[in-house]
Amino acid sequence: MKSLAQILQDAREVKGLTLKDAVKHSGVDAGLISKFERGKRMPSAANLMALAEAYELSFAELKKQWLAEKVLDLVRYEVGAAEILTLAESRVEYLAGEKALVMDKIPASVQEKLEEIDQLKEQWQQRRPLGSTQLQKMKEYFNVAYTFESNRIEGNTLTLQETHLVVNEGITIGGKSMREHLEAINHAEAVDYLEELIREKADIYSRSLLELHYLILKGIDRENAGKYRNVPVRISGSEHVPPQPYLVDKMMEDYFVHYQEQKNVLHPVILAAEMHERLVSIHPFVDGNGRTSRLIMNLVLVGNGYTIANLKGDQTSRLAYYKALEAVQVHNDPVPFYHLVGDAVRDSLQQHLEMV
Ligand SMILES: Nc1ncnc2c1ncn2[C@@H]1O[C@H](COP(=O)(O)OP(=O)(O)OP(=O)(O)O)[C@@H](O)[C@H]1O
pLDDT tens track for 218-231:
999 999 999 999 99
Residues in the chain: 356
Is the separation of the CB atoms in 47 and 32 below 8 Å?
A: yes
What residues make up the domain containing 82?
4-100
Determine the average pLDDT of the residues in 330-350: 96
Q: State the average pLDDT for the chain.
A: 92
From ligand 1's centre to the CA of 28, what distance in Å?
Answer: 32
Nearest CA to ligand 1 atom 9: 280
From ligand 1's centre to the CA of 109, what distance in Å?
Answer: 27
From ligand 1's centre to the CA of 276, what distance in Å?
Answer: 11
CATH number, domain containing residue 32: 1.10.260.40
From ligand 1's centre to the CA of 232, what distance in Å?
Answer: 15
| Same domain membership, residue 129 and residue 96 | no
Q: Is residue 23 over pLDDT 70?
A: yes
Q: Is residue 98 over pLDDT 70?
A: no
| Same domain membership, residue 114 and residue 12 | no
Q: Provide the CA 13 distance to its chain's centre, in angstroms.
A: 30
* Residue from 119, 58, 101, 106 nearest 305 by CA: 119
- Cα–Cα dist 335/270, whole Å: 10
Indicate the pLDDT class of residue 47, thresholds 50, 70 and 90: very high
Indicate the pLDDT class of residue 93, thresholds 50, 70 and 90: low
What pLDDT sits at residue 88? Answer: 76
What number of other Cβ atoms are within 10 A of residue 76's Cβ? 9
**What is the three-class DSSP state of 282?**
helix
Determine the average pLDDT of the residues in 307-312: 97
Nearest CA to ligand 1 atom 5: 322
In terms of pLDDT, which residue wins out, 65 or 189?
189
217 lines ligand 1 (CB under 6 A): no
Determine the average pLDDT of the residues in 198-217: 94
What pLDDT sits at residue 80? Answer: 79
| Same domain membership, residue 184 and residue 37 | no
Indicate the pLDDT class of residue 198, thresholds 50, 70 and 90: very high
The percentage of residues in the chain with a pLDDT greater than 90, rounded to a whole number, is 80
| Same domain membership, residue 50 and residue 153 | no
288 lines ligand 1 (CB under 6 A): yes
Q: Which of 100, 127, 161 is the last residue of a domain?
A: 100
Q: Is residue 97 over pLDDT 70?
A: no
Q: Which of 100, 130, 150 is the last residue of a domain?
A: 100
pLDDT digit string, tens, across residues 24-39:
999 999 999 999 999 9
Nearest CA to ligand 1 atom 31: 290
pLDDT digit string, tens, across residues 150-177:
999 999 999 999 999 999 999 999 999 9
Burial class (CB in 10 A: 0-12, 13-18, 19+), 336: middle
193 lines ligand 1 (CB under 6 A): no
Of 58-62, 175-179, 183-187, the poorest mean pLDDT is in 58-62
CATH number, domain containing residue 207: 1.10.3290.10
Is the separation of the CB atoms in 324 and 291 below 8 Å?
A: no
| Same domain membership, residue 113 and residue 24 | no
- Cα–Cα dist 106/223, whole Å: 41
- Cα–Cα dist 302/344, whole Å: 13
From ligand 1's centre to the CA of 98, what distance in Å?
Answer: 34
What pLDDT sits at residue 129? Answer: 81
312 lines ligand 1 (CB under 6 A): no
| Same domain membership, residue 67 and residue 159 | no
260 lines ligand 1 (CB under 6 A): no
* Residue from 188, 163, 222, 194 nearest 296 by CA: 194
| Same domain membership, residue 118 and residue 252 | yes
Q: Which of 100, 118, 151 is the last residue of a domain?
A: 100
- Cα separations (Å) of 192 from 143, 144, 183, 197, 289? 9, 11, 14, 9, 19
| Same domain membership, residue 309 and residue 212 | yes
| Same domain membership, residue 121 and residue 15 | no
| Same domain membership, residue 23 and residue 154 | no
In terms of pLDDT, which residue wins out, 307 or 103?
307
Q: Is residue 41 over pLDDT 90?
A: yes
Number of domains present in the structure of the chain = 2
Indicate the pLDDT class of residue 276, thresholds 50, 70 and 90: very high
What pLDDT sits at residue 91? Answer: 58
Burial class (CB in 10 A: 0-12, 13-18, 19+), 296: buried
- Cα–Cα dist 219/215, whole Å: 9
| Same domain membership, residue 33 and residue 121 | no
CA 287 to ligand 1: nearest atom = 18
Q: Is residue 92 over pLDDT 80?
A: no
What pLDDT sits at residue 100? Answer: 43
Indicate the pLDDT class of residue 90, thresholds 50, 70 and 90: low
| Same domain membership, residue 212 and residue 272 | yes
Q: Is residue 19 over pLDDT 60?
A: yes
